[in-house]
Amino acid sequence: MTTEGRIDWCRALLARFARFTGRTLRGEWHAIVVEPARRLARRGLSGLLLAFVAAFGVIFFHAIAQHPLGALWVTRLGGVKADLPLWLSMLRTPVSLYVPALDLPVWAGITQLFLAFAWAELALGRARTLAISYATTLAGTLTARVMIATGPGWWGFGLPPECAHVLDTGPSAAVVGLFTYLAVIKRAPVVFTLTGGSMVWESIAVPNLAGREHLIAVGSAIVLGLLHGRGARLRARPRLPLPTRTGGPAPARPPAAPAPVPPRAVPAPATTERPPAPAAAQRSADTAMTSLEC
């Protein structure tokens, strides 16, 4: 290949890459900004109910936790630890979404929390938003218990027993799960890279319990995103007719014999008795002789 041919090939490759990048960014902008803005204009502020509830819930629990008695009740209602019984941890997990984490700034995370729940509610609806946020948080909590039970080692999978006493609260796992799920189903590679890449960097830079749970939340959200709409597509497939048994042709049945018809009685024709011809002639002659004698 000559120098001019290589230059033309590089130009064509760069042009193709630029067109692909433009289409991707335009589609992501439409999925992230344009569609939610249209739905917000159509539904009004009622479409942001979960976002307002989540933000005000975090602010409320943060304000209560500033007092000793309030901190005690916040821990009893939403404090999740790996050393608690499993049923108690699962019972406190929904409330723990609104309890601020101890090592994360509250006011910096409220913006991410509001945006995640607002985008999810406008794109998915309230029921699915709550389901995804709870599923990703619960996946991180349960996997953390497995890591602590495994112990240190296992190629970095296990965690030391001291992590069982760490308070495991905060909406960060739900926020990460919602952003990842939406990035997968909306095909938004920029949001996915920012979300997943930041979680990987966090787990490497600060290898603590929260970083592990964030990675688990990202993984579970990816699985849920790949399964999104799979059930509807399976139900929409046309069902093939059930195969019939082919065991050879059935033997032909002989035609049924007709039922015998009973004979009808035919009435005999009425006959008039006539005397024989010689007797009638003799009777006529006797009658004539009698008349002569008289």
Residue 25 domain flag: no
Residue 177 domain flag: yes
**Domain CATH code at residue 93:** 1.20.1540.10
pLDDT tens for each residue of 212-240: 888 898 999 999 988 876 655 655 665 55
Residue 242 domain flag: no
Between 12-21, 174-183, 224-233, the lowest mean confidence (pLDDT) is in 224-233
**Distance (Å, whole) CA 88 – CA 178:** 25
- The pair of three-digit structure tokens given for residue 227, joined into one six-digit string: 């399964």
For residue 222, give its domain range: 49-230
pLDDT band at 202 (very low <50, low <70, confident <90, very high): confident
Between 138-142, 203-207, 284-288, the lowest mean confidence (pLDDT) is in 284-288
Residue 28 domain flag: no
Q: What percent of the chain has pLDDT over 90?
A: 11
Mean pLDDT of 242-259: 54
Between 19-33, 96-110, 228-242, the lowest mean confidence (pLDDT) is in 228-242
Burial 70-91 (b: 16+ CB within 10 A, else e): eeeebbeebbbbbebeeeebee
Q: How many domains does the chain have?
A: 1
**Distance (Å, whole) CA 162 – CA 151:** 10
pLDDT tens for each residue of 36-68: 888 889 888 888 899 999 889 888 888 888 888
